[in-house]
Chain A
Amino acid sequence: MIFRSLRFWRRLLQCGVAGAFILIPFLNREGIHVLSGNFFAFNFAGMPLSDPLAAVQVFAGTFSVTPSLLVGAGFALAAALLLGPVFCAWICPYGLLSEIIHKRPARRPAFLPVLPFQPFTVKTAVVGAGIAAVLLVAPVPLLNQLSMPGWYSRAMQHLALYGELLPGAVLLPAAVCSLETLSARRLWCIYLCPQSVLLALAGALLPRRLRVCFRRSTCTCRADDRPCLAACSLKLNPRSDGAGPGLQCTNCGDCVDVCRDKGRALNFAVKKAGKG
């Protein structure tokens, strides 16, 4: 039944958020300001929400941060602390687009081999380089230019306010989408997205939080048939007993969904990493 599927609810939320960021600038234009802002900073009826990486960049550039930005980033990090980087799987509009692209038939070209780096190391290096540039070269939030949800919401703002498309908001995401289509991998989310780094790190802070847990004793799948591994669009292994699916697991629930009709060996639980 479709309503039992986590993916159904996830898609509903993703589409709802993507639609809301189309609608909000138009409401603002009509003088309704209960909700305003974009994925860098958002005002939800007086409650601030902000991108933690934007807050870190402002701090790196000015060595100060406003209460509004701090509280907004705090909310986002607190959610990641308790639930993991769920923003990526449940809210991010680029995540939705990337997943849709990923569902296309795989065509891995020869010029794009599997990168010989740990994906999270690459992301962290990008964030480190960005922060270092803010500190040493130009005190400007440079990494905001690499925020795909940021570009999406900025594009919608421009469309509503000025009736025109923002060229950068078309060109950069189009280039990334083309690369992902060719590679049949979620390259941006796995290797580059700087916004997900702080959320993933926050998710690793608490020993106990909501995460995918694997019970090997109840798994009924054969060794050559692993639907949970095939279901993970981030190429993680939810079956690992030791460290769990890892830092990058966004709790999307795709593996839990496919396991539901099998042995129910995978499930969400508030547990320590690796404790089945």
Chain B
Amino acid sequence: MPIPPFLRPPGVLSEKDFKARCISCGCCAQVCNYACIELTPDYFIFGGETPKIFQRRSPCFLCMKCAAACPTDALRNVAAEDAGMGTAFLDRRHCVDYQTQSGIMCWTCYERCPLKGTAIYLHGGYVPAVRPEKCAGCGVCEYVCPVGAVKVTPARLLPAKNGKGRR
């Protein structure tokens, strides 16, 4: 079974720099209040355990404690807006807010977004939309969406053009 595209914790550097700096000390997972950071081996069972966030199981709430605890700056201590974990993509074909005949105003992603109004805003005052350049990629929207219309692409899988894709 393929591993779902996990997120790195907030403040993450490019994947190459991150792996060069992460010494598997586990400080980030130990200070995480939401227990969303999982330390799992990168390669087979003897690979160094690096922190991962599986947003479908437990997303990041951008408390930024992990970044402050990282002794090697593999996670930079930055503002939540600059977490750079990835970017959310909202699929309008599946989002119930865009289905005119549904009559539902869900807004769950908008309401629960830690950067509410900035990363996810209400387009025209009615339907949620993502500002990719402002999105921290925390995964809360993907976690809360009742119909699976939101998916977060990790920064390491994004193209480098918008500054987030730092592969």
- A25 interface hit (Cβ, 8 Å): yes
Q: Tell me whether A37 and B26 are in contact (CB under 8 A).
A: yes
Enumerate B15-39 residues with CB–CB distance to A below 8 Å: 16-17, 19-27, 29-31, 33, 35, 38-39
- The interface size of chain B toward A, counting residues with CB under 8 Å, comes to 28
- A274 interface hit (Cβ, 8 Å): no
- The interface size of chain A toward B, counting residues with CB under 8 Å, comes to 42
The complex places the Cα of A145 from the Cα of B22 at a distance, in Å, of 13
Enumerate A178-229 residues with CB–CB distance to B below 8 Å: none
Known contacts A31-B33, A33-B31, A68 near B49 by CB under 8 Å = no
Q: Which of chain B's residues have a CB closer than 8 A to the CB of A141?
A: 20, 22-24, 48
The complex places the Cα of A38 from the Cα of B142 at a distance, in Å, of 32
- A167 interface hit (Cβ, 8 Å): yes
Q: Tell me whether B30 and A157 are in contact (CB under 8 A).
A: yes
Q: A158 → chain B, closest Cβ, in Å?
A: 7
Q: B134 → chain A, closest Cβ, in Å?
A: 28
Contact of A144 among B21, B23, B45, B73 (CB under 8 A): B23
The complex places the Cα of A37 from the Cα of B73 at a distance, in Å, of 15
- B106 interface hit (Cβ, 8 Å): no
- A250 interface hit (Cβ, 8 Å): no
Q: Tell me whether A38 and B26 are in contact (CB under 8 A).
A: yes
Q: Tell me whether A37 and B39 are in contact (CB under 8 A).
A: no
Contact with A along B96-125 (1 / 0, CB 8 A): 000000000000000000000000000000
Q: Tell me whether B30 and A168 are in contact (CB under 8 A).
A: no
The complex places the Cα of A64 from the Cα of B2 at a distance, in Å, of 35
Q: Which of chain B's residues have a CB closer than 8 A to the CB of A62?
A: 17, 20-21
Contact of A166 among B29, B38, B49 (CB under 8 A): B49
Contact with B along A144-185 (1 / 0, CB 8 A): 110000100010011001100011100110000000000000
- A256 interface hit (Cβ, 8 Å): no
Known contacts A36-B31, A161-B30, A69 near B39 by CB under 8 Å = no
Q: Tell me whether B21 and A61 are in contact (CB under 8 A).
A: yes
Q: Tell me whether B45 and A171 are in contact (CB under 8 A).
A: yes
The complex places the Cα of A48 from the Cα of B71 at a distance, in Å, of 8
Among B19, B33, B35, B46, the one with the most A-chain Cβ atoms within 10 Å of its Cβ is: B46
Task: Please list 13 pairs of residues, one from A and one from B, whose beta carbons are closer than 8 Å in the complex, sorted by A's number.
Answer: A37-B30, A38-B24, A38-B26, A40-B25, A41-B72, A42-B25, A66-B71, A144-B24, A144-B48, A145-B46, A157-B26, A168-B46, A171-B46
Known: A25-B30, A139-B19, A161-B39; 8 extra A-B contacts, CB below 8 A, are A28-B30, A57-B23, A154-B49, A157-B29, A157-B30, A158-B39, A162-B38, A166-B45
| Residues in chain A within 8 A of chain B (CB atoms) | 25, 28-29, 31, 33, 36-38, 40-43, 48, 50-51, 54, 57-58, 61-62, 65-66, 68-69, 72, 134, 139-141, 144-145, 150, 154, 157-158, 161-162, 166-168, 171-172
| Residues in chain B within 8 A of chain A (CB atoms) | 16-17, 19-27, 29-31, 33, 35, 38-39, 41, 45-49, 69, 71-73
